[in-house]
């Protein structure tokens, strides 16, 4: 009876995961509820997945990946390699594929692909190329490279930890590299030659004249007595580090000087009227010895309690601030609010100082304040609060901290100094404590639906094991291949895993099929390690459909693809991974 109940819950799980009638996290909670109500598992057994090292490790890796992206190290690298390629399509494709592969081998591949989509779109606009030739290959190579290391994809971490919980050895950091690297390199070669021939050449739908004024703010920077900028020419102080930053005016007491016309040296107390991007303004407030005229407090985006946040306030059509001078508003007088800059769309601000601006509907004020103050600002009807602008800030000054932290995590895990969960948790902690990431970013980085799904499917896997369902399925599966050698059974298991991953998430596929694979290995009296590794590669062989992996869906719209585009390029790649891993795995991990 327990087998029937467990099988029914399994079928319901598959239905809801494929149809997406309800969300992933709700499906996961439903699994645990049904298993407890049906008495297949005790309440303690049903929620044991939350304490599983796989859930903790995957969550920590989300935070570490976010820290790496937040500090701009990966973005800097991606833009540099594309600059090297120039307008050479073939060279650009090769460099992009190799860069994505290296990054995805160590960082969650989803943010890597998210990062490269706008880079590729801009690059294609600049050189008149078709992004449809690039985006599917980028998604595919990120999936392929994820199989090269233990931390390349959360699926590998989950399989390794579940193997330990079932009483077998886990996977070491670079154990999968023996096969993963050759497969990834072969996949890159295949994509390099096949993608230009198979994928359509479509016009880039987002190409348009770039608006250089977009996201440019007017700001005032006060020169304090201890500033290194004193004595320098205001026209060239930012040219080297911030070439896009424009110093419009220098205000010395009641006199106004224009750097491109007047010869003037900066003295203490001067105010610079500058125009620049959000990242440049925030970086200058951190790096250079300058202040906001209205604030004596420095801008420190760190890990402290009640951490500061940068937001935009848009003056609403019904705001009582319309027609007021910024200097006279309650906002400017509030000691807990620091106004960084002002932006007015399509209009020139003629006032000589930011605080002399007469506010209009649609004006944007760039401010920083603490989280606690932001709560009260949200309740105001005078402005529309835009918090997404904070996501655009790249903490470039922390890039080396994040890189050293990441290398330390990989190194300690590789040398066996600590297990991967401890290393990942430590790295996540250090990302926050060193200011590479704020706590609010860390919480956002934790993909709750993914973590809940892992916990829920772990519970389902435990129920299949406890009720004997996985044993029954293994025997049924084995009966189809009873007269075949172990390598054929392994190939069939990898193929089954690959097919399942086209419909389900690769995490869910791995969790559901791993106990069946282990039971199959036990039934034919062979070492289970080839089957454990086979599940890793099979779960990541999800190229044939846009639903096969989330990065496939991400590039679907920007590339203007059709379903058939994935089939044409994905099916050969799927078959290659299944066949190659079937043949190579027994050579490295004998039966």
pLDDT digits (tens, 9 = 90+) for 230-276: 888 887 788 777 777 888 888 887 777 777 677 778 888 888 888 88
H helical segments located in 71-167: 73-85, 89-106, 109-127, 135-146, 154-165
pLDDT of the residue at 122: 67
> Is 166 within 8 Å of 471 (Cβ atoms)?
no
The third-level CATH classification (topology) of the domain covering 305-392 is Alpha-Beta Plaits (3.30.70)
pLDDT over 70 for what percent of the chain?
86
Q: Report whether pLDDT(490) > 80.
A: yes
The pLDDT of residue 503 is 66
Close Cβ partners of 469 (under 8 Å, ≥ 6 residues apart) = 2, 3, 6, 7, 10, 463
Residue 366, SS3 per DSSP:
strand
pLDDT class of 180 with cuts at 50, 70, 90: very high
For residue range 69-90, what is the model confidence (pLDDT) as tens digits?
A: 777 766 666 566 667 776 677 8
Distance CA 68, CA 74 (A): 7
Q: pLDDT category, 210, cuts 50, 70, 90?
A: very low
pLDDT digits (tens, 9 = 90+) for 467-483: 878 777 767 776 777 67
Q: Any idea what DSSP says for residue 359?
A: P
CB 368 within 8 A of CB 293: no
Q: Is the entire prediction scored with pTM above 0.85?
A: no
Which comes out higher in pLDDT, residue 343 or 187?
Answer: 187
What pLDDT sits at residue 322?
83
CA–CA distances in Å: residue 464 to residues 191, 346, 509: 39, 63, 14
User: 3-class DSSP state for residue 204?
Assistant: coil
Per domain, the residue ranges of the chain are 66-150+183-206+403-445, 305-392
pLDDT of residue 208: 44
pLDDT tens string 292-340: 776 555 555 555 555 677 788 888 877 888 888 888 888 888 888 888 8
Give the pLDDT score at 79. 63
Higher pLDDT: 147 or 115? It is: 147
Integer Cα distance of 508 and 512 in angstroms? 6
């Amino acid at each position: 009876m327990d087998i029937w109940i467990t099988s029914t819950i399994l079928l319901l799980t598959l239905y809801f995961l494929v149809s997406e009638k309800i969300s992933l996290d709700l499906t996961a909670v439903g699994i645990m509820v049904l298993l407890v109500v049906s008495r297949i598992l005790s309440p303690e057994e049903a929620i044991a997945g939350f304490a599983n090292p796989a859930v903790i490790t995957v969550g920590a890796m989300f935070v570490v990946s976010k820290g790496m992206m937040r500090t701009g190290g990966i973005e800097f690298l991606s833009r540099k390699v594309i600059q090297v390629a120039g307008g050479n399509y073939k060279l650009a494709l090769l460099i992009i594929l190799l860069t994505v592969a290296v990054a995805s081998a160590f960082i969650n591949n989803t943010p890597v692909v998210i990062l490269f989509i706008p880079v590729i779109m801009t690059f294609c606009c600049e050189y008149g190329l078709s992004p449809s030739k690039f985006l599917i290959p980028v998604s595919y190579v990120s999936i392929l490279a994820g199989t090269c290391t233990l931390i390349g994809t959360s699926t590998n971490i989950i399989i390794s930890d579940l193997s330990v919980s079932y009483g077998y050895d886990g996977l070491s950091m670079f154990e999968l590299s023996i096969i993963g690297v050759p497969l990834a390199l072969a996949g890159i070669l295949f994509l390099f030659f096949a993608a230009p021939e198979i994928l359509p050449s479509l016009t880039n739908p987002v190409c348009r004249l770039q608006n250089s004024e977009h996201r440019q703010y007017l700001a005032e920077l006060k020169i304090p007595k201890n500033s290194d900028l004193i004595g320098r020419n205001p026209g060239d102080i930012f040219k080297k580090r911030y070439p896009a930053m424009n110093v419009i005016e220098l205000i010395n007491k009641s006199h106004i000087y224009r750097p491109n016309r007047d010869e003037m040296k900066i003295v203490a107390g001067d105010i610079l009227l500058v125009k620049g991007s959000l990242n440049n303004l925030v970086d200058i407030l951190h790096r250079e010895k300058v202040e906001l005229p209205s604030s004596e407090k420095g801008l420190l985006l760190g890990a402290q309690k009640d951490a500061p946040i940068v937001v935009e306030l848009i003056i609403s059509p019904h705001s009582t601030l319309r027609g007021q001078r910024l200097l006279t508003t309650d906002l400017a007088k509030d000691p807990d609010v620091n106004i960084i800059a002002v932006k007015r769309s399509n209009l020139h601000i003629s006032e000589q100082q930011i605080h002399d601006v007469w506010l209009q509907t649609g004006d944007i004020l760039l401010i920083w304040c603490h989280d606690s103050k932001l709560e009260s600002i949200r309740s105001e009807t005078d402005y529309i609060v835009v918090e997404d602008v904070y996501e655009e800030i790249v903490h470039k000054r922390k890039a080396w901290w994040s890189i050293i932290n990441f290398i330390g995590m990989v190194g300690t895990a590789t040398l066996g100094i600590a297990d991967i969960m401890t290393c990942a948790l430590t790295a996540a902690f250090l990302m926050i404590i060193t200011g590479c990431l704020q706590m609010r970013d860390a919480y956002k980085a934790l993909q709750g639906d993914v973590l809940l799904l892992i916990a829920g499917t772990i519970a389902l896997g435990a129920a299949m094991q406890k009720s004997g369902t996985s044993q029954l399925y293994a025997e049924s599966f084995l009966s189809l291949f009873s007269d075949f050698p172990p390598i054929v059974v392994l190939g069939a298991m990898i193929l089954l895993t690959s097919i399942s991953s086209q419909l389900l998430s690769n995490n869910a596929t791995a969790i559901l099929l791993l106990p069946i694979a282990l039971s199959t290995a036990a039934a034919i009296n062979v070492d289970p390690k080839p089957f454990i590794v086979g599940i890793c590669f099979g779960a990541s062989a999800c190229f044939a459909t846009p639903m096969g992996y989330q990065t496939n869906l991400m590039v679907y719209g920007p590339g203007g693809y059709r379903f058939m585009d994935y089939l044409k390029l994905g099916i050969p790649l799927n078959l290659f991974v299944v066949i190659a891993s079937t043949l190579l795995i027994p050579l490295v991990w004998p039966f």
